[in-house]
Amino acid sequence: MADKEDPKKGKRSKGTSKEVCGYPLSIFFIVVNEFCERFSYYGMRAVLVLYFKYFLRWDDDLATSIYHTFVALCYLTPILGAIVADSWLGKFKTIIYLSIVYAIGQVAMAVSAIHDITDTDRDGTPDNMTFHVVLSMVGLLLIALGTGGIKPCVAAFGGDQFGDHQEKQRRTFFSVFYLCINGGSLLSTIITPILRAQNCGIYSKQKCYSLAFGVPAALMMVALVVFILGSGMYYKAKPQGNIMLDVCKCIGFAIKNRYRHRGNQYPKRKHWMDWAEEKYEKLLIAQIKMVLKVLFLYIPLPMFWTLFDQKGSRWTLQATTMNGDFGLLVIQPDQMQTVNPILILTLVPVMDSLIYPLIKKCGLNFTPLKRMTVGMILAALAFVCAAVVQLQIDKTLPVFPSASQVQLKLLNMGNKTVTVQLQDNEPAILAPAQVSDEYFVFDTDQITVLATAGSTTVHRGISFTKGKRQKLLLPLDLNKEWVQIDDLNSKPEEGNNAIRFVNGKNAEVNVSSAVANFGIIQPFHYSNYSLIKNGKVTFNLQSGSESCEYSRDFGFGSSFTFLIPNNLTFGQNCQEEITSAEDIKPNSVHMALQIPQYFFITAGEVMFSVTGLEFSYSQAPSNMKAVLQAGWLFTVAIGNFIVLIVAELAKLPKQWAEYVLFASLLVAVCIIFSIMAYFYTYIDPAEIEAQFKKVDDDDEDDKSKQQKAEIEMVKRDSVSSSEDDEKSK
Ligand SMILES: N[C@@H](Cc1ccccc1)C(=O)N[C@@H](Cc1ccccc1)C(=O)O
């Protein structure tokens, strides 16, 4: 197509950019911009909670709530961006200005993560934490404003580049746009955690959060430059005044006017917005009707996002109780989330080039709203899968003591067999350096213990704290102190293994390994727990000049207490001599079992989100495209709030039951949505607008014809009256 300029505006007109394979060339700059921007956003988000926890030293609760508040804010600010774009600056300028704000925010985050800035004593930890907290909060606010503000504009601006003859290409554009989002986010969620794990610093080496934030900052600058480079090729629709204010005033007037004319004597009007006709243009009223129709349809949508956004929270927590060993690859629980963009990159092309055309060939009219309904059903199915997986996991999870119970294991540190009778239980016989296999469970906090070793018999009453798991360490000489130690009362977090050593020897033992240092353990004492990732670990045990090695393979989420026996001989290795107590079994349900739920939620996302993005654009009047995109994103924000509310209110004792509850809620909402969708009639906003403009033009023509006729009549009157005058004379 020829490269035309819009003669009226002196700018490029719609659908006239240079074309490549039927697509406007300007689209290339927009999709590359989106790729870099999403890399920047998801890359920063991937390490944010860890930055809060390990750099700013916030506790888990504070870190999680600030994280969710930030995400919710990112989906509330699109309203602001859309208003600015549609009514004041236009989409192009809004994207440029807010991208600058966004890039400044990312740079602020990167600077806030340089520990050397306030590390005056050079010990590796920042000395003025307030500086880092304030700078990072300012950074996050700017990022939320930037990413949210430009979000509704970029998609709508892309859609604007297509002419009316490029309807099919525009639909494909939204799919490609979605692919770019996921390409960018996939790369960044893999890369930034790797960058974070590096050590960097001027005076002392620490985890490199500044690099993990710095690279997204650089990508945001690239996004901005790429977008500016395309400047000459874009079609830039002009903002049409403060449209949002006009819309609000018009709706307000319609309501007031309807209320004033509420009696039976006033004839009814077709639509309540028609009560604004006395004061407002028919075109504006028609446009508001179009927007309200779509917004009404949006009411049930947040429920989809409520389920969708639990990938990052509940499903990741579920993965922490699973086994991530994929042979060549060991997947960490939070890395399971990358399955989503990977599946998007495969499913979008498959849907577009295979499934949808096949459905069409079968003669079925798979309308956007039908696709969205199917998307919801798939998301509900994903949660049913999650519930089934949870039931499997629950079977393998340890049963921790209730608030009124005590659980107890016995550990014989001596070198004689001990017989122990706990309350009225059968006596337990423990060989030297043996640990009882299972926990004894009591519903009391006072237990009588009768222990016999050789000729020594000791009878003691022992107090316990209810709700705890403990170990009772029986010493070499039963008459000496019996040590009670707390075991873990929950699974170790993030698939780690919690390991500790008990020293049954009469001498100090130093235990170390490449991944954790247990320090010097006093005789008949124990070390703290150390968290160890999965894989093989070799422990080095040293007592005086003697040492030996003990190796062990760890899975995910286990807890072990290793006993250094009293009679340990430090040979070449102590492999056979160390006793281990498996307090919490490693996760046995494989993470691959989460793939079906990821598949269903992602297929649901493709049908729901990709289609919804395009539907929001196609059903919006020309001057409110960005506003409807913002409305779409607002449903995401509401969905996130529902997660917090439902999880707080429902507080179901079983996780699988919560998954089923969410699936049922979505099915109920989906039924309501399908009824609403059934009554929705698709419109072509451009056609409707054109009709009103035509009516206006016709009215204008009629008016001028009438004026001409009136002038003619006046002229004729004056001529005839002068003729009459003449005659009368
Ligand atoms: N599939 C997501 C991207 C993603 C990447 C890595 C982990 C989780 C998710 C996606 O395409 N997001 C889009 C659309 C969207 C989805 C949900 C809420 C708002 C928008 C995006 O624009 O980020």
Residues 25-37: what's their mean pLDDT?
Answer: 96
Structure-token pair, residue 572: 């070449």
Q: Which fold has domain 281-398+588-683?
A: Growth Hormone; Chain: A; (1.20.1250)
For 135, list phi and psi in degrees, rounded to 5.
-65, -40
If you search the block for the tokens 């579920």, which residue do you land on? 318
Residue of 44, 190, 310, 340 to test ligand 1 pocket, by largest number of atoms within 8 Å of CB: 340
Please give the pLDDT value at position 13. Answer: 61
What pairs with residue 511 in β-bridges? 519, 541
For ligand 1, whether the C-beta of 307 sits within 6 Å is no
Residues 468-477: what's their mean pLDDT?
Answer: 93
- 88 — pLDDT class (breaks 50, 70, 90): confident
Residues 566-585: what's their mean pLDDT?
Answer: 87
CB neighbour class for 717 (10 Å; exposed up to 12, middle 13-18, buried from 19): exposed
Q: Which of residues 320 and 349 earns the better pLDDT score?
A: 349
717 Cβ contact list (under 8 Å, min separation 6): none
DSSP conformation class of 322: S
CB 307 within 8 A of CB 664: no
DSSP string of 83-146, one letter each residue:
HHIIIIIHHHHHHHHHHHHHHHHHHHHHHHT-GGGT-TT-SSS-S-HHHHHHHHHHHHHHHHHH
| Count of Cβ atoms closer than 10 Å to residue 726 Cβ | 8
For ligand 1, whether the C-beta of 629 sits within 6 Å is no
Q: From the CA of 182, how far away is ligand 1's center (Å)?
A: 7
Q: From the CA of 643, how far away is ligand 1's center (Å)?
A: 17
Q: Is 417 helix (H, G, I), strand (E, B) or coil?
A: coil
CB neighbour class for 454 (10 Å; exposed up to 12, middle 13-18, buried from 19): exposed
Q: From the CA of 174, how far away is ligand 1's center (Å)?
A: 14
**Within the chain, which residue ranges are assigned CATH 1.20.1250.20?**
14-241, 281-398+588-683
CA distance 224 to 97: 10
Q: From the CA of 605, how far away is ligand 1's center (Å)?
A: 9
Nearest CA among 294, 6, 31 for reference residue 159: 31
Please give the pLDDT value at position 6. Answer: 43
Q: Which residues of 373-403 are buried (b: 16+ CB within 10 A; e: fewer)?
A: bbbbbbbbbbbbbbbebbeebeeebeebbee
Residues 594-616: what's their mean pLDDT?
Answer: 94
- 690 — pLDDT class (breaks 50, 70, 90): confident
For ligand 1, whether the C-beta of 344 sits within 6 Å is yes
Instruction: Report the atom number in ligand 1 closest to the C-alpha of 633.
Output: 19
Q: Which of residues 331 and 523 earns the better pLDDT score?
A: 523
Please give the pLDDT value at position 695. Answer: 59
CA distance 132 to 116: 11
Inform me whether the pLDDT recorded for 691 exceeds 60.
Answer: yes
Instruction: Report the atom number in ligand 1 closest to the C-alpha of 613.
Output: 14
Structure-token pair, residue 349: 């092309």
* Residue nearest ligand 1's atom 23 by CA: 181
Inform me whether the pLDDT recorded for 699 exceeds 70.
Answer: no
For ligand 1, whether the C-beta of 182 sits within 6 Å is yes
For ligand 1, whether the C-beta of 152 sits within 6 Å is no
Nearest CA among 186, 218, 193 for reference residue 110: 218
For ligand 1, whether the C-beta of 335 sits within 6 Å is no
CB 609 within 8 A of CB 585: no
DSSP string of 282-303, one letter each residue:
HHHHHHHHHHHHHHHHHTTTHH
Q: Which helix (DSSP H) or strand (DSSP E) does residue 497 occupy?
A: strand 497-503
**pLDDT tens, 710-729?**
444 444 444 444 444 443 33
Residues 43-59: what's their mean pLDDT?
Answer: 88
For ligand 1, whether the C-beta of 188 sits within 6 Å is no
For ligand 1, whether the C-beta of 609 sits within 6 Å is yes
Cα 76 to the chain's mean position, in Å?
15
523 Cβ contact list (under 8 Å, min separation 6): 503, 505, 506, 507, 508
Please give the pLDDT value at position 431. Answer: 94
For ligand 1, whether the C-beta of 184 sits within 6 Å is no
Structure-token pair, residue 176: 């490609």
For ligand 1, whether the C-beta of 636 sits within 6 Å is yes
Q: From the CA of 292, how far away is ligand 1's center (Å)?
A: 26
CA distance 307 to 318: 15
- 142 — pLDDT class (breaks 50, 70, 90): very high
DSSP conformation class of 21: T
- 650 — pLDDT class (breaks 50, 70, 90): low
Please give the pLDDT value at position 3. Answer: 38
Structure-token pair, residue 52: 């809060």
For ligand 1, whether the C-beta of 464 sits within 6 Å is no
Q: From the CA of 723, how far away is ligand 1's center (Å)?
A: 82
Q: What distance separates the 2 farthest-apart alpha carbons in the chain?
A: 156
Please give the pLDDT value at position 309. Answer: 79
Inform me whether the pLDDT recorded for 15 exceeds 60.
Answer: no
Lowest mean pLDDT among 249-253, 552-556, 580-584, 718-722: 718-722
**pLDDT tens, 440-450?**
999 988 999 99
Inform me whether the pLDDT recorded for 586 exceeds 80.
Answer: yes
Please give the pLDDT value at position 696. Answer: 56
For ligand 1, whether the C-beta of 195 sits within 6 Å is no
DSSP string of 429-482, one letter each residue:
EE-TT-B-SS-EEESSSEEEEEEEETTEEEEEEEE--TTEEEEEEE-SSTTSPP
For ligand 1, whether the C-beta of 630 sits within 6 Å is no
DSSP conformation class of 311: G
For ligand 1, whether the C-beta of 185 sits within 6 Å is yes
Q: From the CA of 322, how far away is ligand 1's center (Å)?
A: 25
Q: From the CA of 189, how far away is ligand 1's center (Å)?
A: 12
Residue of 181, 339, 613, 617 to test ligand 1 pocket, by largest number of atoms within 8 Å of CB: 181
Lowest mean pLDDT among 207-211, 306-310, 606-610: 306-310
- The most confident of the ranges 219-228, 409-418, 476-485 is 219-228
In the chain, % of residues over pLDDT 90? 59
Q: From the CA of 468, how far away is ligand 1's center (Å)?
A: 42
Inform me whether the pLDDT recorded for 20 exceeds 70.
Answer: yes
Interface confidence, given as ipTM, is 0.97
Residue of 40, 609, 611, 632 to test ligand 1 pocket, by largest number of atoms within 8 Å of CB: 609
Instruction: Report the atom number in ligand 1 closest to the C-alpha of 308.
Output: 17
Q: Is 532 helix (H, G, I), strand (E, B) or coil?
A: strand
- Using CA atoms, how far residue 12 sits from 15, 88, 158, 236, in Å, is 9, 19, 14, 7
Residue of 41, 177, 182, 188 to test ligand 1 pocket, by largest number of atoms within 8 Å of CB: 182
| 90-94-96-102 Cα dihedral, nearest 10 degrees | -170
For ligand 1, whether the C-beta of 181 sits within 6 Å is yes
Q: Which of residues 164 and 26 earns the better pLDDT score?
A: 26
Please give the pLDDT value at position 2. Answer: 35
589 Cβ contact list (under 8 Å, min separation 6): 321, 322, 323, 389, 392, 393, 396
- Using CA atoms, how far residue 295 sits from 222, 274, 300, 629, 679, in Å, is 35, 18, 10, 11, 14
Nearest CA among 551, 542, 619, 556 for reference residue 588: 556
For ligand 1, whether the C-beta of 616 sits within 6 Å is no
Please give the pLDDT value at position 14. Answer: 58
**Mean of all residue pLDDT scores within the chain:** 87
DSSP conformation class of 412: E
Please give the pLDDT value at position 82. Answer: 87
Structure-token pair, residue 123: 């010990």
Inform me whether the pLDDT recorded for 184 exceeds 50.
Answer: yes
381 Cβ contact list (under 8 Å, min separation 6): 600, 604, 663
Residues 173-187: what's their mean pLDDT?
Answer: 93
Nearest CA among 296, 294, 257 for reference residue 278: 257
For ligand 1, whether the C-beta of 407 sits within 6 Å is no
The backbone region for 236, taken as left when phi is positive above 0, alpha when psi lies in -120 to 50, beta otherwise, is beta
Please give the pLDDT value at position 382. Answer: 98
CA distance 590 to 709: 86
Q: From the CA of 178, how far away is ligand 1's center (Å)?
A: 8
Instruction: Report the predicted TM-score, pTM, of the whole model to 2 decimal places.
Output: 0.79
CA distance 589 to 707: 84
Please give the pLDDT value at position 722. Answer: 43
CA distance 134 to 612: 37
Q: From the CA of 655, how far away is ligand 1's center (Å)?
A: 25
For ligand 1, whether the C-beta of 452 sits within 6 Å is no
Residues 184-200: what's their mean pLDDT?
Answer: 90
Please give the pLDDT value at position 694. Answer: 63
In the chain, % of residues over pLDDT 70? 92
What pairs with residue 5 in β-bridges? 12
Residues 378-398: what's their mean pLDDT?
Answer: 96
* Residue nearest ligand 1's atom 3 by CA: 182
Inform me whether the pLDDT recorded for 508 exceeds 60.
Answer: yes
Residues 315-335: what's their mean pLDDT?
Answer: 84
- 288 — pLDDT class (breaks 50, 70, 90): very high
Instruction: Report the atom number in ligand 1 closest to the C-alpha of 181.
Output: 11
Inform me whether the pLDDT recorded for 697 exceeds 60.
Answer: no
- 700 — pLDDT class (breaks 50, 70, 90): low
Which listed CATH number (2.40.50.140, 3.90.1640.10, 1.20.1250.20, 3.40.50.800) goes with 14-241?
Answer: 1.20.1250.20
Please give the pLDDT value at position 728. Answer: 37
For ligand 1, whether the C-beta of 106 sits within 6 Å is no
Structure-token pair, residue 471: 């170990």
For ligand 1, whether the C-beta of 386 sits within 6 Å is no
**pLDDT tens, 103-138?**
999 999 999 999 999 988 888 788 899 999 999 999
CA distance 202 to 323: 38
